[in-house]
Every structure is written in structure tokens, then in C-alpha cells.
Copies of this chain bind each other. A is one copy, B any other.
Amino acid sequence: MYVILLNMVPSNNKNIDKIPEPTLRRLPWYLSGIKLMKVRGENYVSSTALSRETGIDASKIVKDLSYVNISGRTRVGYDIDEMISVLEEFLWPKKVHKAYLFGVGNLGAALLQDSGLKQFGLEIVGAFDVNKNIIGKSINGIPVYDIASLSNKVKNSGVEIGVLTVPIEVAQSVTDNMVENGIKGVWNFTPFRIRVPENIVVQNTSLYAHLAVMFNRLNNI
């Protein structure tokens, strides 16, 4: 039986930069499972119980949690409230990251409407487009600027994240432009594989690629 001990040093951890992406993507599953256990009135959580909750092998859970300085203990498991707060702080640090969104088409406009992003630490402070009909207007309180003013607005703004929802034809040039002006992380919603300098972070989230996976699987059941 694995029981989880949580060490309260989630940040400034030498191991952080080595966390594999699959682990990072499973951590929110654990957090959800733990939250549900709390709803059911449990005060402590063991990796065995979390394995039952999530369907993920307990030894894999222990390994994943070791990256957030959680290690095994053989008695009662760990206080569930502290575990929730450590995982939340680890995944979505309280520091809010500001972002600009590039491309206010269907998906871009939809993302501007999603106030949930701010709850998870991403505040979109402005958007850019080429469409004269929406430039100067606001969506969900977020102003839409002319893409021609990108450099003016982004440079020295302190905004580090760019959300990329432009047509593929301009995905690379808009990326180059934002990176030149100080953007450090690109959340790429386009199905285009953008290229960036080595020190720039890219996270690909192509909704339509996920949709293609689901259609393919559905056609084969």
C-alpha cells in the first residue's frame, strides 16, 4: 500500500524543470479526484485511495507526485486540504499571467468569452485582429486592437503570453512578431506547427485536431 506524504516545498524545486509533460497533465486529474474525496467527507488521502478514484496505477501516482515533493508515508496519508492547496498552487500559481490574444475569429472570440481562464491564472488584457469591424470594440471587456499596433502595444508591456488563434497563413509571421516584441510563451490553438527560438515556450492545443482524433475513433468502434 502506498500512502502519500506531502512536503510543503512545492516551489523553488530543482526537479521542477524536469517534470515530464504527461505527469503535468495527470496532476489536474489527481487534484480533481482529491477534491471529490473531500466532498465525500474524507480528511486524509492515500495513493491507494487516489488510485481507486482516478483509475491510475498507485505506483504511477506516487512517482508523479514525487515531482511536487510528495513522497510516501506509511501511516494515515496526508491532510486533504493541504494537498489540494499545494497542488493548486503548483499547477496554477496565484500570480496571474497577462496575455494578448492574436486573431479574433470564431475560436479567438470564444476564448475571450471564457472568464474561466482568469480563474486559472490567465488574464487576457487585449486582442489583435485585422478586421476593421471589430477593431476598437471590446469583447467581454477586452479591447480589440489593430494588428498593426502589435509592436507598440506588446513591447515593454510586461505581457509574456500570446494566445494564437489566427488563420494558419499568418500563424508563423504573427508568432515571429510577438516573440520579437517580448512574448515568452505562445499558447498555439492553430493546427500549424509554429517555429520559435529555443528559449520560447510553446503549448499546442488544437481543438480541431482533438476532434479529428475523436471522429477517427468513433468511426472504428
A: which residues have CB within 8 A of B?
16-17, 19, 21, 24-25, 27-29, 31-33, 35-36, 39, 54-56, 91-93, 97, 105-107, 109-111, 113-117, 120-122, 160-161, 168-169, 171, 184-185, 187, 190-193, 195, 199-201, 203, 205-221
A83 to chain B, nearest CB (A): 15
By the criterion CB–CB under 8 Å, are A16 and B184 in contact?
no
A139 to chain B, nearest CB (A): 10
Inter-chain CA distance A107–B169, complex, in Å, is: 27
Inter-chain CA distance A214–B120, complex, in Å, is: 12
Interface of chain A: mostly helix, strand, loop or mixed: helix
By the criterion CB–CB under 8 Å, are B185 and A218 in contact?
yes
By the criterion CB–CB under 8 Å, are B24 and A212 in contact?
yes
By the criterion CB–CB under 8 Å, are B212 and A91 in contact?
yes
Inter-chain CA distance A205–B209, complex, in Å, is: 10
